[in-house]
Amino acid sequence: MAYGDKVIDHYENPRNVGTFGTQAEIKARKDVGVGLVGAPECGDVMQLQIRVNDQGQIEDAKFKCFGCGSAIASSSLATEWLKGRSLDEGLEIKNTQIVEELSLPPVKIHCSVLAEDAIRAAIADYKAKNGIGSQTAHAH
Amino acid sequence: MAIDLPIYLDNAATTRTDPRVVEAMLPYFTETFGNPGSRNHSFGWAAEEAVEHARQQVADLLGADRKEIIFTSGATESNNLAIKGAASMYAKAPAGQSGRGHIITALHEHKAVLDPCKRLQREGFEVTYLQPGKDGLITAKMVQEAMREDTILVTIMWANNELGTINEIPEIGKLCHEKGVVFHTDATQWVGKMPTDVERDHVDLLSMSGHKIYGPKGVGALYVRRRRPRVRLTAIQEGGGQERGFRSGTLNVPGIVGLGKACELCAAEMDDERERLLALRRKLEKSITSRLDTVQVNGHAEKRLPHIANISFGFVEGESLMMATKEIAMSSGSACTSASLEPSYVLKALGIGDDLAHSSLRISMGRFTTEAQVEYAADKIVQAVNKLRVLSPLYDMHNEGIDITKIQWQAH
């Protein structure tokens, strides 16, 4: 399969690879939200971590991805886009924007869907850890 | 030393045609271009002579008689003719009825065997699909236990195309002969690489292909036993009655000449080539397994073809591995690239988990593979796996002692 230039760029130079600690450490940290989506038997697992400051802004984001080049590129791109956003702004990232930015072919759309799922899961995890209801995200 | 890229390590998919084969074929396009079926002029006679010479070359490689070789378009056609032709000939009930007979094959056969078997199932035959052992092997004992009173055909490949594992063909053949059951083997990956003797090994029907043995594409052969016992087939392709009625259609003379020459070269060079390829494969496997943890060489350790290595890499995904090693042509155990998310059915048949089957490479060497190419490929694969493991959340979890099979994944 031929990949687009942007997929290859993200694949060869992935942005923001890493974690904010081990699984156990992350679980204990209230300022970090984790999204772990996909399944090994489907060939895609994405782990997206966001670090949120007191103002509710995503200061940093890191990812790890087991998956094809498009999955790696989608999650790498998601970390770039998340940095500096508020939680609500993070939720505005849609898979279709990822498809467009990376020129993903139809067979790879599921990679972008997974990235969106990972974003939502990471934000939901942060909110759950901090007792923030989805309606009151901005009520501080 | 600079190395030419890309490197071809997919010789189980197809091989480069040997230049000596091409040279042998060339006159049969423009000079000796006659139709071997033309019995009344010298153009036809010359073409027929070339075909009969090639038939002898193929027969010699198999330990067969010249009259037992049928030329086809390749192993897929040979398999179809052997399986459907034998089932139809030895059926215990007429078409349209059930109870037409029992066929034994295996789960990890090539699709060109499985799909004809599935068609026969729809047409009133019963088929048993044997599950290979964890080592990938089909043994005579497995076949014996599946045998029934109404078994009419056993079809088991000589060596598996994804794993290179070698089944117990002589023992299975002997069993079939004792029971009076027709025995077919798809020997596409075996023939030309390993010594073959259809007499000694009790084979009744054998499929082979030209392009896997440095011959041209679009030509193959089916061996059909003529004595002890004489095996009969119903023709699938009908017409001019060529190939003693088994396979109508004007003969592909240049292709057949090429196939014959390829067989002759294999026979002459097999022993040296086998040793050389085995050394290369061992070097490759050792180079990779000694430098990486959580890798697994699939299939039986010893009973494997010299030129095929199938290796699973834990915690990395197959397609991204191919992308990271794109200057090396190999096959991935993952079919993700073909837009279906199903991992290899062959690895699944061995009970290898989907997670490992997703990240497997089949690396197959050949006559034109050099040691430098193998060393380069092994280095690249190790680098790529290390790079992808830095990216892999699963590898982190593994290193933190988390069992990833125990996590509730949300399959999508």
> What ipTM does the predicted assembly reach?
0.91
Helices A69-82 + A5-12 axis angle, to 10: 80
Locate the domains of chain A by residue range. Answer: 5-126
User: Which pLDDT does position B29 carry in this prediction?
Assistant: 98
What is the pLDDT confidence band of residue A136, given thresholds at 50, 70 and 90?
Answer: very low
Nearest to B191 by CA among B20, B55, B61, B12: B61
Residues 6+ away with beta carbon under 8 Å from B291? B382
Q: What angle do CA B284, B19, B331 make, to 5 degrees?
A: 35
User: Which pLDDT does position B355 carry in this prediction?
Assistant: 62
Residue B391 to residue A22, Cβ atoms within 8 A: no
How many CB atoms neighbour CB B237 within 10 A? Answer: 16
Q: Is the peptide bond before B229 cis (omega within 30 degrees of 0)?
A: yes
Contact B199, B59 (CB under 8 A): no
Give the CATH number of the domain where residue B83 resides: 3.40.640.10
Residues B342 and B387 in one domain: yes
Q: Report strand pairing: B360-364 vs B331-332.
A: antiparallel
Residue B411 counted as domain residue: no
- Supply the pTM of this predicted model: 0.91
Nearest to B412 by CA among A79, A31, A121, A14: A121
| A43 pLDDT more than 90 | no
Task: Please state the φ and ψ torsions of residue B58, each to the nearest 5 degrees.
Answer: -70, -45
Domain final position from B207, B231, B266: B266
Residue B1 counted as domain residue: no
Residue-number span of the structural domain to which B113 is assigned: 19-266
Residues B254 and B364 in one domain: no
Q: Considering CB atoms only, which of A11, A64, A117 is closest to B392?
A: A64
Mean pLDDT of A90-110: 95
| A27 pLDDT more than 70 | yes
User: Which pLDDT does position A134 carry in this prediction?
Assistant: 56
Residues of A whose CB is below 8 A from B341: 42-43
Mean pLDDT over each residue of chain A, to the nearest integer:
92
φ/ψ bin of B411: left (φ > 0), alpha (ψ from -120 to 50), beta (otherwise): beta
User: Which pLDDT does position B356 carry in this prediction?
Assistant: 67
| A62 pLDDT more than 90 | yes
Query: Edge to edge, what strands does the sheet with B182-186 contain?
Result: B69-72, B220-224, B205-209, B182-186, B151-155, B102-106, B126-130
User: Which pLDDT does position A139 carry in this prediction?
Assistant: 42
- Give me the residues paired with residue B153 across strands: B103, B182
Q: Copy the structure tokens of residue A65.
A: 């991805």
Residue A42 to residue B390, Cβ atoms within 8 A: no
Ordered DSSP codes for B212-235: GGTS-TT-EEEEE--SSSPP----
CA dihedral B237, B242, B243, B249 (to 10 degrees): -50
Is A5-126 a domain of CATH 3.40.50.2000? no
d(CA B285, CA B273): 18
φ/ψ bin of A38: left (φ > 0), alpha (ψ from -120 to 50), beta (otherwise): left
User: Which pLDDT does position A9 carry in this prediction?
Assistant: 95
d(CA B378, CA B278): 15
Residues of B whose CB is below 8 A from A43: 317-319, 334, 336, 341, 343, 358
Q: pLDDT below 70 — which residues of chain B? A: 1, 333-343, 354-358, 411-412
Residues B256 and B288 in one domain: no
Residue A41 to residue B354, Cβ atoms within 8 A: yes
